[in-house]
Structure 1
Amino acid sequence: MTKPLVTILDDEPAIRTMLADALEDAGFRTIGFGRAREFEAALKHQTPDVCLVDLSLPDTDGLTVVHKLALEKGAIVIIISGRAKVQDKVTGLELGADDYIIKPFDPAEVVARIRARLRSSKAEPQSSNSAIFNGWVAHFDSYLLVDAQGVETPFSHAEGEVLRLFLNSPKRLISRSQMQQSLGGAAGESFDRAMDVRISRLRTKLREDPKNPQLIKTIYGAGYIFLGDVSWT
């Protein structure tokens, strides 16, 4: 079995080395980059399983990198940053990051968070990577939504986690606490806002009326219900 590949984008060589040593000791493959340009060039040739991204980079804002990764690559994206303000964390999660770790950190925590994210992404039945519902097909191997006319709309890994959760439990109430337990991350304002953004984006991609969505219904004070008829292929 091929070891999972983790890319590390951080301009501090000592941090890249520390993370690489911890991850390789834990059974991962790693590649490190000090600049976003080198990182993005490498991604044209391979897609990692997990991307660790610092926000303070010498050639671009790390948030821009996070957003592109979430939209284009389908990899698990974890921010590692010295920015400790709640708003920075919320913004990172809203732009598509799956997790946010504040510097300074224990490398063992990073390894544990990565393993948890990989377990979460593999916890659902992998024999069924496409779901059909209400005129749509969701392809979780290619991160694409396809409508009845064949028009393709990409979704991020983070959006895919939420969508798969709904499609695996159609017509059942899913509470915020259940979402937090299933998707990981610390409960609180940043998690709630990140979920609101991901669900809003899914509704937009599914062309839902924001004032009266028919598929993903909000049950105020309780959670959400997905009302579609779902079959897995």
Structure 2
Amino acid sequence: MSETTLNNNKMIYVIDDESDICQLVSQELELFGYSVRTFTTGTQAGHAIRTRPPEICIIDLGLPDMDGMELVKQLCDKHNVGVMILSGRNSVPDKVLGLELGADDYIVKPFIPRELVARVNSLVRRLENTGTDTRSETRSASFAGLCYEPSTLTLTTADGIQAELSSAENDLLIKLLKAPKTILSRDQLMGESAGPFDRSIDVRMSRVRKKIELDPKNPEIIKTIYGVGYILTTDVSWNS
């Protein structure tokens, strides 16, 4: 079965106020079997996402009605969708912020359409691979005095203080919880592609640590094994 056939049921939303960009991206993705809808404002896209979430949203940061970073944050916090930023902003702070908010990829304009499709294909495969392993988990996990409920993405401390994880944070934490006291490589944690930036896994791990560690700068629960990956240092019990 061809990759084009496999993509037939995959919906991509392109959110960009430049109609020529929307048309270019849409045409290229449709050649590879994707269904595409385009939006010129974040508000339009937000309504559509609540009605029918896509597999991936490709978001320009320069939207007319909001900063695209705001939309990225909303999607990563509230929806299980892949997020790709497509922007003319080429600064390191913008790239790092986008990844910190939970974006899966960051592509700078001008871009090569075929490369964009390749990255979409890679992200779709990664989301499919992580979907079975992490997003369908219904049991709660207890570790290091914490309780995590994957079904609600809620982490609770022994004092009853709660924090909500994004879907990207959930993916990382569940993989660690299912392999306690085992070193996991970056590839194992991020799938076949860790994204175009070396810092992407580190940025996301930092976000998880801020929610589970007493001192995120000197972590005790999730330790870095330099040059190899990460390890969850505690025992984990799963509750049905």
TM-score over 0.5 for the pair: yes
Task: Report if the CA contact (8 A) 2:163-2:211 is conserved.
Answer: yes
Cα RMSD after superposing both structures: 3.0
Q: How does 1:48-59 map to 2 (within 5 A)?
A: 48-59=54-65
Q: How does 1:117-128 map to 2 (within 5 A)?
A: 117-124=123-130, 126=132
- SS of the aligned residue for 1:126 comes to helix
Q: State the 1:203 CA deviation.
A: 2.3
Task: Report if the CA contact (8 A) 1:6-1:28 is conserved.
Answer: yes
Q: How does 1:110-189 map to 2 (within 5 A)?
A: 110-124=116-130, 126=132, 129-130=136-137, 132-134=141-143, 135-139=146-150, 142=151, 144-147=153-156, 153-175=163-185, 182-186=192-196
Q: Are 1:4 and 2:10 counterparts? A: yes
In structure 1, the gaps of 5 or more residues are none
Distance in 1 (CA, whole Å) between partners of 2:19 and 2:34 is 19
Q: State the 1:138 CA deviation.
A: 4.2
Task: Report if the CA contact (8 A) 1:63-1:92 is conserved.
Answer: yes
Task: Report if the CA contact (8 A) 2:187-2:193 is conserved.
Answer: no
Pairs aligned (count): 227
Distance in 1 (CA, whole Å) between partners of 2:109 and 2:218 is 42
Distance in 1 (CA, whole Å) between partners of 2:87 and 2:112 is 13
Distance in 2 (CA, whole Å) between partners of 1:6 and 1:105 is 18
2:47 maps to 41
In structure 2, the gaps of 5 or more residues are 1-5
Q: TM-score, normalised by structure 1?
A: 0.81
Task: Report if the CA contact (8 A) 2:153-2:167 is conserved.
Answer: no
Q: State the 1:162 CA deviation.
A: 2.2
Relative to structure 1, the CA distance from residue 231 to residue 119 in structure 2 (aligned partners, 3 Å threshold; closer, same or farther) is farther
Q: State the 1:66 CA deviation.
A: 1.0
Distance in 1 (CA, whole Å) between partners of 2:100 and 2:209 is 15
- SS of the aligned residue for 1:123 comes to helix
- SS of the aligned residue for 1:51 comes to strand
Q: State the 1:77 CA deviation.
A: 0.6
Relative to structure 1, the CA distance from residue 182 to residue 228 in structure 2 (aligned partners, 3 Å threshold; closer, same or farther) is farther
Q: TM-score, normalised by structure 2?
A: 0.79
Query: Share of identical aligned residues, percent?
Result: 38
Distance in 1 (CA, whole Å) between partners of 2:118 and 2:152 is 25
Task: Report if the CA contact (8 A) 1:170-1:227 is conserved.
Answer: yes
Relative to structure 1, the CA distance from residue 183 to residue 209 in structure 2 (aligned partners, 3 Å threshold; closer, same or farther) is farther
1:187-211 deviations in Å (ceiling 9; x for gaps): xxx532x433322321233354435
> 212-221 or 113-122: which moved more?
212-221
Relative to structure 1, the CA distance from residue 182 to residue 26 in structure 2 (aligned partners, 3 Å threshold; closer, same or farther) is closer
Distance in 1 (CA, whole Å) between partners of 2:183 and 2:119 is 27
Structure 2 counterpart of 1:191, one-letter code: D
Q: How does 1:78-97 map to 2 (within 5 A)?
A: 78-97=84-103
2:69 maps to 63
